[in-house]
Structures are given as structure tokens and as C-alpha cells.
Copies of this chain bind each other. A is one copy, B any other.
């Protein structure tokens, strides 16, 4: 299509018209969410703070779900389809033979810096359709909060973000971005909720946690007229919205006249790697292609590597229903890392099911992150793009695997997802690499 062979762009009119739902192709149904033995029913609570549209998608077993035209227009406004690139310069630097090829998908071109906008645009579109003037959420690293603030702005909605105070403090740039989009951002625990006020009374300097922020967001959505809660990872509808990434990639590999043998991405809750890989996993299950899958994790939160396949809550406080997931325990303590966005206790149920079927490998990198950002730097210096700290895990694993295949003399076509850019998180590179 192009005169150079390193860029594979889909025309705007070839943006996918449907999302892909793996539930249709799983040999066994996904284990359903359940309630814990104690306390109120979490399942009965869900419809009070989640959108009808997404709850319907959450339990759907239809293989294809139409993307409403209004959401497709928002995807296009946000710059979709995004390029797939052949990493020719990186391949050369790694001295790879012709039979080992590297490709990457550029989700870093997102307006707020990550793939999170894909589901944020869908959820805020549905929120507006269902008549809600306001969305509420929590955020940890800040990527999800930024994406929802952006998407709310484009859909004319108000947005309230409860942001773990520890991150709120050291990421003023990301806070400004949310504010520019018109969102109200609260350091959590906050004075906005009863739960937050209680915690602040006990400790006015409380640094918060993701679990607390979720609790505050849900309480806020339940108590405010016209407010609805949005989630940025783990749930099946979130991964469904993200499949636009992988569906584009499948078409782009046709243009490239090549076929990936290994898909790689960073993995916390699983939304970016799910979005990238699920359409490929579906084709493997349908017998249409052969491909392996590798999740790049941190030893801070190696849920696929060391977690158990159990029913667990998705949040620290246990307000959400129990989901069957590879989990380290919903109240586990995890060491701090710079790539906060992949520091999460459990893997999305749908990706956990894939893992259980032995179709998904995983690797976990040391908490010091030096190897990860050193490898990412080889990508930065050859391809020229700055991956997010989180995305750097996928970049690193792709380089590591390519060198491993080279060592073994094996063929490989590796595709990895650069899920976001790192412009708002430069300290993540500066500190471990001692660039200051």
C-alpha cells in the first residue's frame, strides 16, 4: 500500500464496525460473577451504579457486537485507526535475521496518552444516551481518569475523578490535563463522601489506595442524582471495547502480508493486552490461525504468574461482586513501581479463562524496573517514540523474546502493543535509569 514497508495504515472507512466478544468462542462458558457469603448482595447493587448498556454487554455471548455509529465517529475523532508499524530500525539495531520480524501498534497516539480512551469514549457515549449528565470514577496511575475526563468532555458530560492521593500528589501535569477537560478531580480519600470523610478524620494525611478510591467513586455515583460509575479495566465490557485495537491489527497484517506468531503486551488488569489479543485468540480458537500470547508483568503484581484462579473481589474493600480470576488476593500489598498502571491484584476474568486454557504465557520483571526501561530505551533510540512506563514492559518483553529466538535460531513474527505514551510520566524513566 505504501512505498515504504514499515507502516501499515488502515483508511478511516475501514475502522471496524463491530467489537469481537471471545465469550462466543470459549469452549466453556465464563464462570459467572457471584456474591460472597457475607454482607449485602453486590450483584443486586450493580445496576444502581453501572450503565444498562455495559451490563448487557458484560454477560453477552454474541460473537460480534455492533459499534454504534456515534462511537465510531468518536474513535475517528480520537485518531483511529492507529498505525501498525514494522520496527525495521529496532530490528537492525538488534541485528535480527530476516526470519525474526517485529511489529508494533501505536496506541500511544491516543489524545490523552493511552488506549483507555477506547472504552472511555464508548462508556460516556452510552451514559449520554441513557440520560446521565455525569460520570464518576476512580483512578490510580491517572491514565484512566484522564481518558474519562477527555471522553466526558467530548460527550458533553460532567466528570468526577477520585484519585489515589499518593499519585495525585506527584503527577500535577496529569491533574491539570483532567482539569483542562473540565473534570473535578479529588485526592482520595476526599471530603466528598462519607467514607472519605471518615478516613480523613482518622488520618488527615491519608495517602489512599485504589480500593478506597473505588469505594468513594461508587458511593458518589449512588448518592448524586444523574451520576453513573465507569470502570476502566478488568470487566468484560471494557475489554470488548478495546478489541478495536486487535481487529485493526488483523486487517493491518493483511496489508503487511505477514502473520504474527507471538503477540505481546504489558498486563495489569488486562485491558490493553485483552483488546490487542482477543481477536487473535478468537481466530486461534476457531482454528483460523496459530499464534502464541505473552503478557509482560511486574513482580510487584504478577497476578498471572503467581496468582491463583479463584473467585475474588476486584477492589480492596470488597464492594464488587466476586469474579473468577487469577488473583494475588484483593487485599494484597504490592510494592510501588513507576509503572503504576500495571500494578493490580487480579487479571480480567476473560483473560484469566484464556490463561487457564494454557493459551497465555506470562513473564514478570523485577521491581527495580532497570532492565525494562533499558530495553525500552533501545526502542526509543531507534524507532523514536516514547512508550508509557507501562507499555515499556511489552516493549522489553518483545526485545527479550526476539533475542531469545535469534539465539535459538528460530523464526518469529512478534507484534507488541505500545499502549500509551510516557510524556506525563518522565520520572519513571529518569529515576531507574539514573538520568538526573
Q: Which residues of A contact B (CB under 8 A)?
A: 1-4, 6-7, 9, 11-13, 73, 76-79, 83, 89, 109, 111, 113, 150, 153-154, 172-177, 179-182, 377, 380-386, 421, 423-424, 426-427, 429-430, 433, 435-436
Min distance, Cβ A133 to any Cβ of chain B, angstroms: 16
B residues in contact with A173, CB < 8 Å: 173, 423, 426-427
Among the listed B9, B89, B150, which residue makes an inter-chain contact with A154, where contact means beta carbons less than 8 Å apart?
A: B89
B76 close to A7 (CB less than 8 A): yes
8 contacts across the A-B interface (CB closer than 8 A): A3-B13, A79-B109, A111-B384, A172-B430, A176-B426, A179-B435, A180-B377, A423-B423
The answer for the CA separation of A429 and B178 in the assembled complex, in Å, is 12
The answer for the CA separation of A157 and B433 in the assembled complex, in Å, is 21
The answer for the CA separation of A384 and B75 in the assembled complex, in Å, is 11
Among the listed B9, B12, B429, which residue makes an inter-chain contact with A2, where contact means beta carbons less than 8 Å apart?
A: B12
The answer for the CA separation of A173 and B436 in the assembled complex, in Å, is 10
Interface centre among A4, A377, A424 (most CB of B within 10 A): A4
Among the listed B109, B150, B430, which residue makes an inter-chain contact with A384, where contact means beta carbons less than 8 Å apart?
A: B150
The answer for the CA separation of A385 and B180 in the assembled complex, in Å, is 11
A180 close to B76 (CB less than 8 A): no
The answer for the CA separation of A386 and B79 in the assembled complex, in Å, is 13
Q: A11-B2, A177-B426 are in contact. Are A384 and B89 (CB under 8 A)?
A: no
Min distance, Cβ A50 to any Cβ of chain B, angstroms: 25
A180 close to B77 (CB less than 8 A): no
Chain B residue with Cβ nearest A377 = B180
Instruction: Contacts A1-B12, A111-B384, A174-B426 known; list 13 others, CB within 8 Å.
Output: A1-B11, A4-B76, A7-B12, A77-B384, A154-B382, A176-B427, A176-B429, A176-B435, A179-B430, A180-B377, A180-B381, A180-B386, A424-B426
B residues in contact with A11, CB < 8 Å: 1-2, 9
B residues in contact with A113, CB < 8 Å: 423
B residues in contact with A111, CB < 8 Å: 384-386
Among the listed B1, B12, B154, which residue makes an inter-chain contact with A4, where contact means beta carbons less than 8 Å apart?
A: B12
The answer for the CA separation of A427 and B171 in the assembled complex, in Å, is 11
Chain B residue with Cβ nearest A425 = B173
Min distance, Cβ A155 to any Cβ of chain B, angstroms: 11
Chain B residue with Cβ nearest A77 = B384
Chain B residue with Cβ nearest A150 = B384
Min distance, Cβ A84 to any Cβ of chain B, angstroms: 13
A153 close to B435 (CB less than 8 A): no
A89 close to B109 (CB less than 8 A): no
A12 close to B13 (CB less than 8 A): no
A153 close to B7 (CB less than 8 A): no
